[in-house]
Every structure is written in structure tokens, then in C-alpha cells.
Amino acid sequence: MIRAIAQTRDISIIPLMNRSIPSVSTFTDPSIVAPVNPESNPTQAVYYWLLRDIIRGVFEPLERLKIEQLVAFYGIGHSPVREAILLLSTTGLVVHEHQKGHRVAPVSRAEYKDLNGVYRRIYRLTLEMALQNGDDAWEEAVVIQLHRSLKVPKLFDSPEHREMWQRAYGNLHHTLLSGCGSPLMIRLWTDLGYRLERYVNLFADVEVDLKLDHHSMHREIVDALMHRDATRLEMLVSEYFAMGEGFHKTIATELAAREAKPRKADSADPQAPRKRGRPRKVVAAGS
């Protein structure tokens, strides 16, 4: 019932969301629907939908997350929406304003640079730990996930195809790093990855991204892992990050251009807080 409501809702009543991007809650492919049953676990379902929709740009930077709007948007109850927002506030994708509720986190060139640098350090360290601690079951899981990812074409011709690629890409790297044996490291890497992925979706040049051959690089990285070849793995990871330098420059360039523009505090600027309440009445002097 909840899924039916979510898929048939009239999103025209949601004035602030980017309605040109469909919500992940409307997708139907099993690889990208919520990993839980919305009927039995509505909070986790909303958490997944809202997480992916923020990352994908359905909700813009600094957009206020209003409970009533989200209830209508996802066709689900108030409590699951509130709980999902609170859960997301620990990821860095949602920020809280005292007595004003929650907003989507802002974006900036400085944060992007910081995220990118820290993400790479965490990735390298976690992969090194996985190489040291991963067992045979982990190796088998990596090979299976590589096989699954190679079956997903890198197509951005529709929002659903792009989401399928991003989920396959993310699931492979999650499996690669899961051998580290540290839930804390995985959580750090996951949160950083989500925040970087949002920058990719919002500001990257898609044509540059499409030219990158991630499938071939993934094969080589997995092969080095299977042979426990630390030296080759380090070289491949360096090549993997270097391969995306041009792609990441398009994001930094777009952010720099946005920050160079004068900002107006109106609804057209997603980085500007939206005004609340009624305009103050101006009283003429002497009246």
C-alpha cells in the first residue's frame, strides 16, 4: 500500500524539490529499490529513499526538509520521516538549525577539496586493512560482486540506469573494503563516499565521467587483491585516483563558478536559506 501511494503521488504539491529528477522511491529495478519492506520497516525505507534522493539532487543544497512535504512526497507516516531525518543528520548530508528544523547540507569548493582528500586517505587505509585481514569468504564475495558489477553497463541515458550503475559501483567498493574487519572504518568511508557522490551528481561533467573505463580498472584491482600483491595494488589505486582527476576538476570548476556569482537570498538560489513568515509591513514616517 505504501509503495503504491509513493509511486502514484502527485509531486506537484511539493514546490521546493527538483521535480526534473525522479525520486528513487519510484524506481522498480530490484537492484535499486529500498533494501527493506516499507510496510514492515518504514523508517529504513524512508531513510534509503531520502538518502539517495539527497545524493541524486532531488533535494537541493540548503533546502528545508519539511515533515508534511516529505510525508506527502513519499506517501508514508510522520514518525518514519522524522526518524529518517534524524538518522541522516549523522551522515553529514543533513544539518540541523536550532528551532528551525533540518536542511540539506550546503556545498562548497573548500568542503569538496577536503572531502576528496580525506576520502582517498580513508580508502587507502581501509583497503590496506582488507588486504591484511580479509579471509577466503571475503575473496569469494569480492569476485561475486565484481561479476555482478561487470553486468551493469555504464549508462546515464536515464535516471534509473545511472542509479543502477552508481549502486553497482558502490556495492563493489563496499565489498572490497569490507575485508578490513572494522565497522567504524566502513562507516567513515561510507559517509564520505555518499557526500562525494552528491557533488558528482550535482556538478560533474557527465560526458567526462562516461569516458572513464572503471570496469577494466576494477578487474585489475580485484586481481591484485586475489594475489595479495600489495605493491601492485598500491600502484593500481594510485592509477585509479589519477584516472578521475580530469573528472574531479570539472566539479571544482563548476563550484568555483557558482561561488564567484553574487548570491541573492531568494528561492532561485538553492544555496540561500529560504525566507519564512510574512514580509514585515513598512510604516511611513509620521503616520
Which positions ≥6 away from 230 have C-beta within 8 Å?
128, 131
pTM: 0.84
**Tell me, what's the pLDDT at 267?**
45
Query: Any residues with CB less than 8 A from the CB of 104 and at least 6 apart, and which?
Result: 54, 59, 60, 61, 62, 63, 65, 93, 94, 95
* pLDDT at residue 28, as a whole number: 93
Helix spans in the chain (H): 2-8, 42-56, 67-74, 78-88, 109-133, 136-150, 159-178, 183-203, 206-210, 214-226, 230-243, 245-260
Low-confidence ranges of the chain (pLDDT < 50): 1-16, 266-287
Q: Note the pLDDT tens digit of each residue in 139-197.
A: 999 999 999 999 999 989 999 999 999 999 999 999 999 999 999 999 999 999 999 99
Q: Which residues contact 242 (CB under 8 A, 6 or more apart)?
A: none
Domains of the chain as residue ranges with CATH: 2-104 (1.10.10.10), 109-253 (1.20.120.530)
pLDDT at residue 262, rounded to an integer: 77
Whole-angstrom distance, CA of residue 253 vs CA of residue 271? 17
Q: What is the pLDDT of residue 174?
A: 97
Measured on CA atoms in the order 103, 54, 61, 19, is the torsion positive or negative?
negative
Q: Find the angle CA(70)-CA(265)-CA(262) to the nearest 5 degrees.
A: 130
> How far is Cα 174 from Cα 281, in angstroms, rounded to an integer?
55
